[in-house]
Structure 1
Amino acid sequence: MNKLVILLFSSVCIGIGLNMFIIPIHLISGGIFGISLLIKYVWGIQVGHTMIMINTPIYLLSLLYDKSYFINAILGLAFTSTIIDWLTPLNGLVHLPIITNVILGGMMIGIGVGFMLRLHISPGGVDLLALLISKSTEINPGIVIFIIDALIIIAGIIILKDLKLLYSLITIACVGLGVGLLNSFKSINFYLR
């Protein structure tokens, strides 16, 4: 039961971070969503279709690696995507300077993803891949997420030629920081298993 409460809390943090702070200023994000947006902008393929195509091999890899990761990823994706859609009315609710939005949005998303990864749950995509890489290499998942997301943002800047996307680097740095901090202290145990 506690696991579901933390999953709900994490999903709400991600939903608030995206809907209240990131989407209103029209930045791309890192992860599978960011890749899907880039493909849409360049080739016109729908974001949902692209997300399914990109996530499928990652989910299959998690199924081969550990069935519990696969189940937790499906659970994390279901919760997160539902909560993000439910919190859409938060879009445009606050009007802050862009730098404040990117920092607050990144930290909210980082807290949500960080708590999920501590419980070996993932909202899918790059976060799931980071969890799998972290388990096999013992590299902090926050660092893995930051590196992958930074490459996606840099590709977006090059492809779309929009320097405003540089703010996305600050967002993913905050996400990586939140995830990294929450996953650095292995001695803290939630006693949820």
Structure 2
Amino acid sequence: MKVQLFNKIVATIAGSMLLAIGINLFLIPYNVLDGGVIGIALILNYMWKANIGITFILCSLPILVLAWFKYRHFFFSSFPGMIISSFFIDLFSDISHTLLAPLHIHPITSSFIGGIFMGVGFGIMLRNNISTGGTDLLAKYIADKLSVNVGFTIFILDGLIITLGGLLFSPRTFFLSILTITIGGLSTGVCCYRRAPREVTLPWKT
């Protein structure tokens, strides 16, 4: 039990730090978006310089209230991840100005690397049954109510957020954001992939 708790703490911290690096170092400099509530927080940051971590928490509160009443287990697995992720996102908020400027990374390369960082960060947490909450729960609630596929619902919600960002900012923001969430999704899938155990052939089994 103590080992499992320790693993969850380490995974939450490591995953949150990777998310924070991906957002601050590779997404923000080029107004790139992620899906979900983080994407909404990034839009508000690009428009009005809103604090991303605090905005992430505020935008997540209605969803967490829903989780408390409808999916209690989801609340307890999401709340710590949301708080710690928000903390690291704000803690690393200045590194993009000090570290990225000398590198002169191309926007496509930056979006690609940012997607990897965020995907791996999410993957590490999901592999340990930790979440940052957000629109995944909202998608599950909508899917349950409308009897539709939850994956399709998440895709629609993320698509709406990315499209809104493209309309508010530029086509470049739209396409770079699509690249980021695609690479991020693939990276998350790789991290969460668990190889099925190989069947053992016993000496007496024919």
State the TM-score, normalized to the length of structure 2.
0.72
Instruction: Tell me the amino acid that sits aligned with residue 162 of structure 1.
Output: S
RMSD: 3.3
- Select the residue among 115, 122, 138 that pairs with 1:106: 115
Contact 1:122 1:128 in 2 (8 A): no
Structure 1 gap segments, 5+ residues each: 189-193
> Relative to structure 1, is the Cα distance of residues 144 and 100 closer, same or farther in structure 2, using a 3 angstrom cutoff?
farther
Query: Counterpart of 1:18?
Result: 23
Q: Residue 66 of structure 1: CA displacement?
A: 3.4
Query: Counterpart of 1:163?
Result: 171
Which of structures 1 and 2 has the bigger CA Rg? 2
Query: Counterpart of 1:89?
Result: 94
Question: Within 2, Cα distance between the matches of 1:182 and 1:118?
Answer: 7
Instruction: Tell me the amino acid that sits aligned with residue 14 of structure 2.
Output: F
1:121 aligns with 2:126: no
Counterpart of 1:91 in 2: which secondary structure? helix
Structure 2 gap segments, 5+ residues each: 1-5, 198-206
Query: Counterpart of 2:201?
Result: none
Percent identical = 33
Question: Within 2, Cα distance between the matches of 1:184 and 1:145?
Answer: 20
TM-superposition CA deviations, 1:153-192 (whole Å, max 9, x none): 112223x25111121110111121122333343748xxxx
> Relative to structure 1, is the Cα distance of residues 163 and 109 closer, same or farther in structure 2, using a 3 angstrom cutoff?
same
After superposition, where does 1:48-63 map in structure 2 within 5 Å? 51=56, 54-63=59-68
> Relative to structure 1, is the Cα distance of residues 3 and 114 closer, same or farther in structure 2, using a 3 angstrom cutoff?
same
Contact 1:140 1:184 in 2 (8 A): no
State the TM-score, normalized to the length of structure 1.
0.76
> Relative to structure 1, is the Cα distance of residues 149 and 84 closer, same or farther in structure 2, using a 3 angstrom cutoff?
same
Question: Within 2, Cα distance between the matches of 1:151 and 1:20?
Answer: 24
Question: Within 2, Cα distance between the matches of 1:155 and 1:12?
Answer: 27
> Relative to structure 1, is the Cα distance of residues 19 and 38 closer, same or farther in structure 2, using a 3 angstrom cutoff?
closer
TM-superposition CA deviations, 1:5-62 (whole Å, max 9, x none): 11111011101111111112222332113234546878x7x67786556423321232
Question: Within 1, Cα distance between the matches of 2:42 and 2:15?
Answer: 23
After superposition, where does 1:60-79 map in structure 2 within 5 Å? 60-79=65-84
> Relative to structure 1, is the Cα distance of residues 147 and 47 closer, same or farther in structure 2, using a 3 angstrom cutoff?
farther
- Select the residue among 180, 183, 189 that pairs with 2:189: 180
> Relative to structure 1, is the Cα distance of residues 97 and 60 closer, same or farther in structure 2, using a 3 angstrom cutoff?
same
